[in-house]
Structure 1
Amino acid sequence: MGKLFILFAVLPIIEIAILINVGEQIGGWYTVAIVVLTAFFGARLVRQEGLSTLTQAQQKMQSGQMPGQEMAEGLLLVIAGVLLVTPGFVTDGVGFLLSLPMTRPLIAKGLMKHMSVNMVNTSYQADFTHQTSNQYDFQQKEEQESGEIIEGEFVDKDEKVKPGLRKPD
């Protein structure tokens, strides 16, 4: 919840404050021009890097390797593209950081490491839940076999009764 609050409430306020300050320093039209130019050049950079990453992924798949690094970099490029076309200097900075060929592979490796740790933890939790469920099922079977009476309804399959009709008593 806190991360989403920062993303959707605090970040726009910071962006607006920076845009106003830059506009006061260099002028409003120059600020708008910078925002438009960063969006344009950022989109071109993301497109170029995306095609390069796609080519690398295809080469890895053709050689029988899993393109995990390239998939993570592709995800970062999608995020970078969104950030770069969003007006603001902070989002542009983060977007360029995610799209540059020097920084993106490092961030992608960190992302993959973080995801693998989370996947291991989730896998462990799933195994634990499955084991607990099996233990519960085993306990229920033991209780049934111990001679306890379990209430329920049954249908006598030998008698031919039409659905919806009850057999007279």
Structure 2
Amino acid sequence: MAWAFLVGLLTLPVAEVLVWIRVADAIGGLATVGLTVLAILAGSALLRGGGLGLALDLRARLERGEPPGPIVFDGICIAFAGFLLMLPGFISDGLALLLLLPPVRALLLRAVVVSPGPASPSDPTIIEGEYEILSPEPDPNQPPDHKRLEP
């Protein structure tokens, strides 16, 4: 599995360069450089502006009593999309644009979430049992806890 990740990591830059050359042949070198710079600026804007929006949405959800998981996952996806846009290349830009689509993020969230999580407050877990309150027994080796009267 690790070798597959390493091969993918090494072939992605080669594929990015090949696609970049094809796009430059199709639309021209200056337009390709312009699109690359525009993608980098868009990625940096996403990374800068995404944090404040995430914090405000997270606060509003917590005030309403909603679980913060989905909004945090959306924030992570948007930040990763910003990072991918900052990488020069059109394959990473395409993946970033996919991450910016809410239906794609919803599909990813469903794929990542394994269990539904803890029960909601409206559906508490009830554990039945019996109990008995025990009072502490005095230790026979300890002297009584009363003051001595001295003459």
TM-score, normalising length: structure 1: 0.58
CA distance in structure 1 between the aligned counterparts of 2:59 and 2:99, rounded to whole angstroms: 21
How many pairs were matched up?
114
Q: Which piece of structure 1 moves more, 71-80 or 56-65?
A: 56-65
Q: Which has the higher contact order (CA 8 A, sep 6+)?
A: 2
Contact 1:84 1:92 (8 Å CA) reproduced = yes
Name structure 1 gaps, 5 residues minimum. 121-169
Paired position in structure 1 for 2:76? 75
Paired position in structure 2 for 1:40? 41
CA distance in structure 2 between the aligned counterparts of 1:46 and 1:17, rounded to whole angstroms: 27
CA distance in structure 2 between the aligned counterparts of 1:108 and 1:72, rounded to whole angstroms: 8
Paired position in structure 2 for 1:5? 7
Render the CA deviation track for 1:88-135: whole Å, top value 9, x for unaligned.
011111112212xxx23x233323322222x58xxxxxxxxxxxxxxx
Identity of aligned residues (%): 32
Deviation of the 1:68 alpha carbon: 1.1
The one-letter code matched in structure 2 to 1:27 is G
Mapping for residues 53-72 of structure 1, pairs under 5 Å: 53-72=54-73
Deviation of the 1:38 alpha carbon: 1.5
Matched, 1:14 2:15: yes
Deviation of the 1:9 alpha carbon: 1.8
Paired position in structure 2 for 1:52? 53
CA distance in structure 2 between the aligned counterparts of 1:61 and 1:114, rounded to whole angstroms: 24
Q: CA RMSD in A?
A: 2.3
Residues 110 and 56 of structure 1: CA distance in aligned 2, closer, same or farther (over 3 Å): same
TM-score, normalising length: structure 2: 0.64
Paired position in structure 1 for 2:145? none
